[in-house]
Amino acid sequence: MRDYQAYLIDLDGTMYKGKSPIPEAANFIEELKKRQIPFRFVTNNSSRTPEVTVGKLKKFDIDAEVHQVMTASLATARYLKEQQNHVRAFVIGEVGLTQALENEGIEIVEDDPDYVVVGIDRNNSYRKLRDACVLVQNGAGFVATNPDIKVPTEKGLVPGNGAFIQLIENVTGKRPEVVGKPTGLMLQVALEELGVEAKDAIMVGDNYLTDIKAGINAGMDTLHVQTGVTTKDELAGYGTQPTYTVETLSEWFH
């Protein structure tokens, strides 16, 4: 195991599992702090603000600071700001997204936007989707916080942001720029913020198809942990393997 200069860390399946704690997670974070290794939590969730995520982690005895949480919404806002000086955005999304955009000085508009930005929106409507489709056809850029098609809940699978992205794609024929995992874009934004190069950092997560793929796409080493979605057996069936895989995070710092 190399001495990495920064860790990017997934949440669900890695730090906790739904509403249940993963006992080894809190120690792992404490160890990073003790060794003074910078880290960021990286999450595809675009509706929650970093403040809410910090509160959620606290329930699992994990102490995080707001600036240590990188959401797909924050990364989207940073990404847009890098594209041009003043950005006008038509937005489908909740407070986690609108707040992130406003904090970066992005103007939220109904008409004539530079970009149509789409995150999960539990108040989504026919009208919003129709307007997004028309604006994308008229030439606005099309940016998606994250591509997750379905989200597990107690009641069953419910539509995730990717389901609505796919709908807009099906109607317009245009493909979005996707910021969240499994692309490497959100991870690159987090590494820029940390001032660490991809080759010197490691991505930690349980889900091969999102976390590990994103790490690989960002040019990072990757640590797969078997406490979540992808089992050790499933992992073996995938192409490019993660740099490491562990049963729990307690195996890591020894």
Asked if residues 103 and 77 have their Cβ atoms less than 8 Å apart, the reply is yes
- Shortest distance in whole angstroms from residue 245 CB to a second copy: 28
Q: Is 139 in the site for a second copy (CB under 8 A)?
A: no
Which of 39, 90, 164, 252 touches a second copy by CB under 8 A? 164
Q: Is 246 in the site for a second copy (CB under 8 A)?
A: no
d(CA 179, CA 76): 6
| Nearest C-alpha neighbor of 11 from the set 100, 50, 92 | 50
Report helix, strand or coil for 244.
strand
Alpha helices in 126-251 (DSSP H): 126-137, 161-172, 185-194, 213-217, 232-236
Q: Is 138 in the site for a second copy (CB under 8 A)?
A: yes
DSSP letter (8 states) at residue 176: P
Q: Is 167 in the site for a second copy (CB under 8 A)?
A: yes
Asked if residues 76 and 104 have their Cβ atoms less than 8 Å apart, the reply is no
Tokens linked to 247: 């049963």
Active site residue 111: no
- Shortest distance in whole angstroms from residue 241 CB to a second copy: 28
Which of 134, 217, 241, 251 touches a second copy by CB under 8 A? 134
Which of 35, 122, 240, 254 touches a second copy by CB under 8 A? 122
Q: Is 155 in the site for a second copy (CB under 8 A)?
A: yes
Residue 221 is labelled as binding a ligand: no
- Shortest distance in whole angstroms from residue 145 CB to a second copy: 15
Asked if residues 92 and 117 have their Cβ atoms less than 8 Å apart, the reply is yes
Task: Give the binding site for a second copy (CB under 8 A).
Answer: 121-127, 129-130, 133-134, 137-138, 149-150, 155-160, 163-164, 166-167, 170-172
Binding residues for substrate: 181
